Structure 1
Amino acid sequence: MRAADGFTGRANSTLTCGDPGMSVPRALITVQGFAREHGIKPTAHVVRGSAHEQAIGAAGWRVDLDHPGGAESQVMTGPLEKFADGVAESRDLPGWWDMTAGSEVTAAQRHVLGSGGNVCFASLTENGTVTAAVRGAVVEDVLHVARLAVRPSHRRGGLARRLMGQLAGWGLEKGATTCVLQVAEHNAAAIRLYEELGCTEHHRYRYWVPAVS
């Protein structure tokens, strides 16, 4: 069970992989209690098509069709060596935070995006302005990629591909061999980019919430 003042779905949901040690209905009651305690929406992070998803649906929960990122996301993986190009420099710039978290950064946002031993705040700049940004974090031999963003005025110029190549190079230097990332099912442009970099779909997940709040 995770809570981070409402910042991102993953950081404010209960991951439903593995045995909860109790019945699913009872576990979901615990999830709701945790959510009330932390002032967040009770949410279950569920792999699509899993036994847990069937049990959660049977317990009276529903897919969160109102989730800001869309009802469903896919997790993609791929080998870093296929698209590594250069090495990203980690720079904790105000412009990086502006693009990935918003103009007024909260303590929860800094914790979610900044915690961990091997974290990279990668960006591209033009005349002192951040034009593209992405977060990378290496855990064991996996580079976790998140918050890729390109300034609207600079899109369709290859910046996302260039930045991903540099982040992959950074990940290789940190001992990673594979990347993992998550993308909303409706984000066709991002999915196409990741496929061109050699990433393939691993699984999909959805957020479930109580049918009656």
Structure 2
Amino acid sequence: MNDAEMLENACADAWPALIDLPLGQWRLRAAAGFTGRANAALATGDPGTSLPRALRRTCEFAHANGIRPVVQILDGSATERALAAAGWVHHTGHPAGYEVSVLLGPPTQPDATGDGKGNGGVTVAEVPSDPWWELVAGTTSPGTAQRHVLAGGRAPVGFATARSGAETVGAARGAVVGDLLHVARLTVLPAHRRRGLGTELMNGLGRWAARHGATRCVLQVETNNATALALYRGLGFTEHHRYRYWIPANT
């Protein structure tokens, strides 16, 4: 596998689907419809069979698990060109956008303060709190798929929160795979934005992740999310590659 393919597989390990079955080097994933990544086949590397058969297996897997057939493919790859030739199309109806920028950067800023235990404005816990769930998932009673994707899997996971007085006003999720910190679900309440809390959450997770061996950070950001992309570029992140979601033309 090339660097982009290895990075995508690390991100998949950091964002575990309820069901993750190999098809050669492809990964067929399902999580009861919770998030696009956890319910799309990751088509990197060799599926170990012909493309038509691999796509047929992908569709059968999706239908068996009650989800729409979706394939996540590296932008500009030979697999993407072959998928277009096979009649698949961009998943333009994807709620968050069908094209995603994968960014790499430092886990913390050089002038970051605090220790990730609440002494730099952000606390990173080993267990998610009810306010954390409310911010990142919109509920304090997450279902099985939400709990597995956000709080399960084999990777160490940190649950970052930022507070203003007694109120939790920001949250984010970090998972460490190898030397890589994967950050997702960063959110700040509207009334508390533009105060540097996004940066504090990133730095808090970075300090926590360093204790687990992380030396770099990865983010997967929809290309239409200009606000998030501007934040991360200001923190020293650069685009490594992009991927896109594809679906059969007749669905």
Aligned match for 2:156, one of 113, 118, 124: 118
- Greater shift, 96-105 or 63-72, is seen at 96-105
Pairwise mapping of residues 80-95 of structure 1 onto structure 2 (< 5 A)? 80-83=107-110, 84-88=112-116, 89-90=124-125, 91-95=127-131
Q: For residues 155 and 248 of structure 2, what CA distance do their matches in structure 1 show?
A: 35
Tell me what 1:10 maps to.
Answer: 37
- Structure 2 regions of 5+ residues with no counterpart? 1-27, 117-123
Tell me what 1:127 maps to.
Answer: 165
**CA-CA distance at 1:26 after TM superposition:** 1.4
Equivalent residue letter for 1:49: G
SS of structure 2 residue aligned to 1:2:
strand
Contact between 2:88 and 2:249, CA under 8 Å: does it hold in 1? yes
Q: Once the two structures are superposed, what CA deviation does each residue of 1:88-112 show, in whole Å capped at 9, x if it has no partner?
A: 3215111111111122421100000
- Greater shift, 78-87 or 190-199, is seen at 78-87
Pairwise mapping of residues 47-126 of structure 1 onto structure 2 (< 5 A)? 47-83=74-110, 84-88=112-116, 89-90=124-125, 91-103=127-139, 104-115=141-152, 116-126=154-164
Which runs of 4 or more aligned residues in structure 1 lie more than 4 Å from their structure 2 counterparts after TM superposition? none
In structure 2, the CA distance between the partners of 1:117 and 1:186, relative to structure 1 (3 Å rule), is closer
Tell me what 2:211 maps to.
Answer: 173
Question: Kindly, what percent of the aligned residue pairs are identical?
Answer: 50
State the TM-score, normalizing by the size of structure 2.
0.82
Contact between 1:25 and 1:56, CA under 8 Å: does it hold in 2? no
What is the RMSD computed on CA atoms of the aligned residues? 1.3
Q: Once the two structures are superposed, what CA deviation does each residue of 1:150-189 show, in whole Å capped at 9, x if it has no partner?
A: 1112111111011111111111111100000111101111
Tell me what 2:21 maps to.
Answer: none
- Structure 1 regions of 5+ residues with no counterpart? none
Equivalent residue letter for 1:13: A
Q: Once the two structures are superposed, what CA deviation does each residue of 1:119-141 show, in whole Å capped at 9, x if it has no partner?
A: 00111122332101000011111
Q: For residues 68 and 182 of structure 1, what CA distance do their matches in structure 2 show?
A: 15
**CA-CA distance at 1:81 after TM superposition:** 4.7
Q: For residues 95 and 85 of structure 2, what CA distance do their matches in structure 1 show?
A: 25
SS of structure 2 residue aligned to 1:80:
coil
Contact between 1:125 and 1:132, CA under 8 Å: does it hold in 2? yes
**CA-CA distance at 1:196 after TM superposition:** 1.2
SS of structure 2 residue aligned to 1:123:
strand
Contact between 1:120 and 1:136, CA under 8 Å: does it hold in 2? yes
Equivalent residue letter for 1:87: D
Equivalent residue letter for 1:134: A
Contact between 1:136 and 1:167, CA under 8 Å: does it hold in 2? yes
- Greater shift, 127-136 or 85-94, is seen at 85-94
Aligned match for 1:196, one of 206, 210, 234: 234
Q: For residues 48 and 3 of structure 1, what CA distance do their matches in structure 2 show?
A: 22
Contact between 2:108 and 2:203, CA under 8 Å: does it hold in 1? no
Aligned length: 213
In structure 2, the CA distance between the partners of 1:127 and 1:34, relative to structure 1 (3 Å rule), is same
Report whether the alignment pairs 1:42 with 2:76: no
